[in-house]
Structure 1
Amino acid sequence: MRSNQIRRIELKEYETRRFPKGEISEELGMMIWQNYASQISIDEPSFKNGDQWCLTPNGWAGHIPLTPEFEISLLPKVDIKNLFGMLEYAYWVNSKSLKFLDGLTDCDSLEDFYETLAKFLALRVLDRGRKGFFRSYQPRKDRIPYVRGRFDVRKSCQKPWVVKPECSYEEHTSDVEDNQILAWTLRRILQSGACTERSLSQVRRAYQSLQGLATPIPFDPQDCISRFYNRLNEDYQPMHALCRFFLEQSGPSHRIGDRTMIPFMVDMARLYELFVAEWLKANIPPDYLVRPHEEVVICRGGRVRFNIDLVVYDRDSQKALFVLDTKYKAPDHPGNSDISQVVTYATTKDCDEAVLIYPKLLNMDIRIGKIRVRSLAFSLDCDLEEAGRIFLEDLFSGEDL
């Protein structure tokens, strides 16, 4: 059970908060700087800041259990309901048979949301465990006290004093990737410190149900997608979709004594990019095709290459109509570097329309050579479906300059 004596500080995305020198120890300040410099900008007390600690989250939201007694909550700028909507599109819109729990978007915080999903995953794992975890034949090669499968005669003749023969065989086992991904994810959730007794017992039971059956070896989020499913393991697809979410939001781990602590953090810029891509794929008219993360190699040997956020094609002609780049920030006007980047992308695709997508409208519509460069808004301040409809109308409307 989590202690009631835990001290929590709350930081809002991109907003600097100041703390008196005595409120944060040098040890805690050093821990933040060493482990979370990418997520939180921290300035130690000095005459320049009034002898105060200055902490600024760099576009992240979530929960950091810094020590068993001290944790940091990173609050998003986005309304919590819209944040959940973004997560649903980014991770689960294409997952078969995965429906959000009733009332999930009524959670009061991102931590509650995380815990509810953790319980949801645990219950699905327990249900699969009652039916029997997926098993398949895996190749094995070992010295065993009896002949099984293919017997390596040559090696046995070379070492006749070795009694156990070396055999190559297939073993019907549950220690396969499908189950290992579940075991590794549940282990990471247990180490996060984000779960309370409301869900902890189910997560522990789910993890224990896999112990001895599947090895919790490390997996990357990409290992959870583009997997092969059949009638024997098709119910693993939604579970792996959840695993991808948890693994992508697990920040860098650190150790306090004998305890490993793993935070839960959402990279808001990455989430915005995923959300816009999946929303467009789901809602763009059928005459068009959306391809996210299209890589373009410029010179021999691949020394110069670009990864374009989104390219919209005419489905019949396969001509690139729009090159789009998402930017999760709210400047007063598009920066020169953003403009240069998207123009370069459009040039590589021989495309006349380059679009920068921001969470707010910046009203830019210019020409650079033959390329029209615009900034459009996919707002996160209103209903996401309505914001998407307005974005699509703006993308396809207007005459070329």
Structure 2
Amino acid sequence: MRFGDAQVSIEPKVPLERLFYLLARGREWGNWFEQSVHLDTIANLYPAIAEGFATWAERVFRTGVVRGYRTVRAAEPAIRGRWLVSEQIRVRQGLPLPAELQYDEYTSDIAENQLVRSAARRLVTFVGLPDSVRARILRIDLHLGDVTLLTRGEPLPSVHFDRRNYRYRPLVALAELILTNGSLDHRVASTAASGFLLDLPRVFEQFVETEVTRAANPFGGEVVPQFDSALDEDGHVHIRPDLVWRREGRVQAVFDAKYKAEKPAGYPNADIYQMLAYCIRHELTTGHLIYAAGNSVPPRYTIAQAGIEIYCHSIALDQTPEEISRQVDEIVATSMHTSSM
């Protein structure tokens, strides 16, 4: 966050290059970021975001700007498309021209390009960008000069991906990230403030969901995120673990992702209480908490009175993507083994 000449930075415990790996995996962008952008030499979040955006945009636009049909309603001096006669009478009071029309136009001014250009405009306001990166982003903005900029505060348009625009998918995802999280942009008198903030617990949760689903695939069944049920018989106390693994209509394993930058008060007691409730509700003898490594926790808690064991797993996010995937594979294998005991 930047206030005039002062800047406040919140450093994640995840290395920057791994932070974008978590984003790419959790939001199912694939491994494009790891292949396309080298972040180990970039020390600041803003330049890293801008570098990734510029690199992928340049790759996408090598084959041209995608175009599509957009429905247009306009008043024009010549008739084309559908003439809205009732609208003509209401608005023009019987005058034949300009004609109130509706037609489909084949144009570059579609949602995909609107998101990209608006994100480029947002990026150039970030402080601390290298001149070379800023120049690349300005070229992207110029390349999309006929595209409408999105209005700040309005909901972002949705994009349906198919073979025509699939190459845009990572770029649009990064544009949405920039427009959604770069939400602070305020000016009071001569002091300007701007910021970009990522919800790391949510990023970690999405990553765990994607990776656990991948690792559980060979075991059959299905992994269900945010599985809603009730703890009490009357259905008043709702519980919703991050992930459950179901097979033959029954919950076989339950997981909860916990990203904690430091040890909060009572850590990890509240996590244990929560997992204990999940296990009791689904009649499980084991539950699995998945932490981002950084705070040490005992590997296992035994609640003898309930006959339940709660396993605490840590993922070292400073490792290579291959090693991180291997850690998740081990966690899932352990959970499948304990669920069958």
TM-score by length of 1: 0.67
| SS of match in other structure, 1:265 | coil
CA deviations over 1:310-344 (Å, ceiling 9, x no partner): 12223xx2422222221212549754543343344
Query: In the alignment, residue 181 of structure 1 is paired with which amino acid?
Result: L
Which sits farther off after the overlay, 252-261 or 269-278? 252-261
Distance 2:134 2:173 in 1: 21
Contact 1:334 1:375 in 2 (8 A): no
1:113-192 matches, within 5 Å, as 113-124=48-59, 126-128=61-63, 131=64, 133-157=65-89, 159-161=93-95, 163-192=97-126
Partner of 1:387: 327
1:130-178 CA distance string (max 9 Å, x none): x2x2222222333322222222334445621464332232222222111
Change (3 A) 1:344 1:247: farther
Q: Which amino acid aligns with 1:326?
A: A
CA distance in 1, matches of 2:68, 2:213: 34
CA distance in 1, matches of 2:141, 2:243: 38
Q: Are residue 292 (structure 1) and residue 228 (structure 2) matched?
A: no
How many residue pairs get aligned? The number is 327
Whole-angstrom distance in 1 between the partners of 2:274 and 2:153: 33
Which digits, 9 at most, give the CA deviation of each residue in 1:185-223, with x for residues without a partner?
112212222422130000111012222223334589986
Deviations 1:265-289 (A, max 9, x none): 3322222212222222233342243
Q: Which residue of structure 1 lines up, in the alignment, with residue 256 of structure 2?
A: 325
Moved over 6 A (4+): 219-222, 368-371
Q: 1:41 corresponds to which residue?
A: none
- Equivalent residues of 1:322, 1:352 under 8 A apart: no
Aligned pair partner of 2:36 in 101, 123, 130: 101
Change in CA separation of 1:327 and 1:170 when aligned onto 2, cut-off 3 Å: same
* 1:54-109 CA-partner distances (Å, limit 9, x unpaired): xxxxxxxxxx2222x221222222344544443342245536x6653263334344
Answer 1 or 2: higher relative contact order, Cα 8 Å, separation at least 6.
Answer: 2
Q: What are the ranges of 5 or more consecutive residues in structure 1 without an aligned counterpart?
A: 1-63
Cα displacement (A) at 1:303: 9.0
Distance 1:235 1:258, change over 3 A: farther
* Residues 376, 395 of structure 1: 8 Å contact kept: no
Structure 1 Cα separation of the partners of residues 156 and 291 of structure 2: 26
Structure 2: gaps of 5 or more residues: none
Residue in 2 that maps onto 1:266: 198
Q: Which moved more, 1:360-369 or 1:228-237?
A: 360-369
Could you tell me how far apart the structure 2 residues matched to 1:181 and 1:173 are? 15
The alignment partner of 1:282 has SS state of helix
Kept after mapping to 2: 8 A contact 1:179/1:210 = yes
Q: 1:322 to 1:219 in 2, by over 3 A?
A: farther
Q: Where does residue 278 of structure 1 map in the other structure?
A: 210
* Structure 1 segment 180-219 matched on structure 2, within 5 A: 180-218=114-152
Q: Does the 8 Å CA contact 2:291/2:315 hold for their aligned counterparts?
A: yes
- When residues 221 and 93 of structure 1 are mapped into structure 2, their CA distance, relative to the original with a 3 A threshold, is farther
In structure 2, the CA distance between the partners of 1:385 and 1:115, relative to structure 1 (3 Å rule), is: same
Secondary structure at the aligned position of 2:98 is classed as coil
**Alignment match, 2:298:** 362
CA distance in 2, matches of 1:92, 1:76: 21
On the 8 A contact 1:221/1:248 being kept in 2, the answer is: no
The Cα of 1:357 is off from its aligned counterpart by 2.2
Q: For residues 255 and 154 of structure 1, do their structure 2 counterparts lie closer, same or farther at Cα, with a shift above 3 Å needed? A: closer
8 Å CA contact retained: 2:33, 2:52: no
TM-score scaled by structure 2? 0.78
- Tell me the residue number matched to 1:86: 22
Report if the CA contact (8 A) 2:54-2:136 is conserved.
Answer: yes
Larger deviation, residues 366-375 vs 245-254? 366-375
Aligned-pair CA distance for 1:122? 3.9
Amino acid at match of 1:90: G
User: Quick check: 2:302–2:310 contact (8 Å CA) kept in 1?
Assistant: yes
Q: CA RMSD in A?
A: 3.7
Please tell me whether residue 341 in structure 1 is matched to residue 281 in structure 2.
no
- Identify if the C-alpha distance between structure 1 residues 297 and 164 changes in structure 2 by more than 3 Å, giving closer, same or farther: farther
Whichever structure has more strand as a proportion of its residues is: 1
- Given the alignment of the two structures, is residue 75 of structure 1 paired with residue 75 of structure 2, yes or no? no
